Amino acid sequence: MTNNGKMQSVTLRVLRYNPEVDQKQHFQEFQVEYTADTTILDALHQIKAEQDGSLTFRRSCRHAICGSCAMNVNGKNILVCKTPLRTQLDRKNRVTIRPLPFLPVIKDLVVDRSAFWEEYQRVRPWLIAPPEAPEKEFRMTPEEVEALHNAETCIMCGACYSSCQVVALNKKYIGPHALLKAFMRVMDPRDTEPGERLDEVSGSDGVFRCHTIFNCIDACPKGLNPTEAIETLRKLVQKRQAFVAARQERQKTLLPVESSTAPAAAD
């Protein structure tokens, strides 16, 4: 980078809202100095520290793993902590920052994500393992592990959920994040209730409510693919019986042969 270390100036337009004072949201402009290394989150910190201490936003880890700082920058949902400011300048040398769309705003850039978490809880995102756990580990094939890879790196930032127009129309829709989790658990060979999970997502606000808009893929900061997961779930829902039968068959071979692997010298 040629301008590395060199200070430049940029206008940040932040959509602000203080429920105690404001009737509605309004833009406020801030001038910020930045270098090639400055992230948008750094710039927001700079404003909060030097210009306006009342600016409110969520952030925690600052390296794209906690999922707190998803915001709408120039109309796209991104994680501000991992996005350099210089990549987001528009033609007028400005950056426009809004809270996540389609969700109730609490203050400034902080939104109410209760609906997001409720839908997450609804698909029971935890593993429902077989009653007898092995001494060491379940035996999964590399292909089975690979299939889960799409879903397991999700950081629950809400970028996909709040970019989804179906969510905008109907908050009862389960949402791409939770459907991705459901997909992960359905595909997991250790899970004992794939049939019940498929029933949950096949309802009138589940996978068939998705209109294949692809915003979730575009928005995901981790490069995950909720649309593909939803399409896969659609296929599995339509052959539920065969899938459940295959799972039951699979689970017979999931436990390693206890007598040969378990240490017999314990007693």
Partner 1 sequence: MYTSTGFISFFLRRLTGVALVFYLALHLWVIGSANAGPEVFDARLNAVQTPIFKLAEIALLAAVVYHAFDGIRLLIVHYFKVTEYRKSLFYAAFAISAILTIAGGIPILLFMLEGL
Partner 2 sequence: MRIFQLQRYSAIALLVFLTIHMIVVHYPPFHIDFSRIVERMAQPLWKAIDIAFLFAVLVHALTGAYMVLTDLENIHRYRRALAWAAILVGLFAFYYGTVTILAFQPPA
Could you list the residues that contact partner 1 (CB under 8 A)? 72, 75, 77, 101-102, 163, 165, 168, 211-215, 217-218, 225, 227-228, 231, 234-235
Shortest distance (Å) from residue 261 CB to partner 1: 36
Tell me the CA distances in angstroms from 130 to 110, 123, 141, one per residue in order. Answer: 40, 18, 17
Counting beta carbons within 10 angstroms of the beta carbon of residue 220, is it exposed (0 to 12), middle (13 to 18) or buried (19 or more)? buried
Largest CA distance in the chain: 75
Binding range to partner 2, per CB under 8 A, among 39-47, 116-124, 147-155, 164-172: 164-172
81 vs 216 by CB, closer to partner 2: 216
Q: 208 is in the binding site of which of partner 2, partner 1, none (Cβ under 5 to 8 A by kind)?
A: partner 2
Q: 54 is in the binding site of which of partner 1, partner 2, none (Cβ under 5 to 8 A by kind)?
A: none
**H or E element that contains 29:** strand 26-34
User: What are residue 190's phi and psi, to 5 degrees?
Assistant: -80, -20
10 CB contacts (<8 Å, ≥6 apart)?
31, 32, 34, 43, 85, 89, 93, 94, 95
7, 33 Cβ separation under 8 angstroms: yes
Rule CB under 8 A: say whether 170 interacts with partner 2.
yes
Kindly identify the residues of this chain, within the stretch 187-226, that bind partner 2 according to CB under 8 A: 202, 204-205, 208-209
47 vs 201 by CB, closer to partner 2: 201
Per-residue x/- mask for partner 2, residues 227 to 256, rule CB under 8 A? -------x--xx------------------
Q: Candidates 169, 242, 246, 262: give the one binding partner 2 (CB under 8 A).
A: 169
Distance CA 250, CA 244 (A): 10
130 vs 195 by CB, closer to partner 2: 195
166, 206 Cβ separation under 8 angstroms: no
Tell me the CA distances in angstroms from 64 to 6, 58, 159, 218, one per residue in order. Answer: 25, 13, 12, 16
167 vs 178 by CB, closer to partner 1: 167
Residues that bind partner 2 (CB under 8 A): 166, 169-172, 202, 204-205, 208-209, 234, 237-238
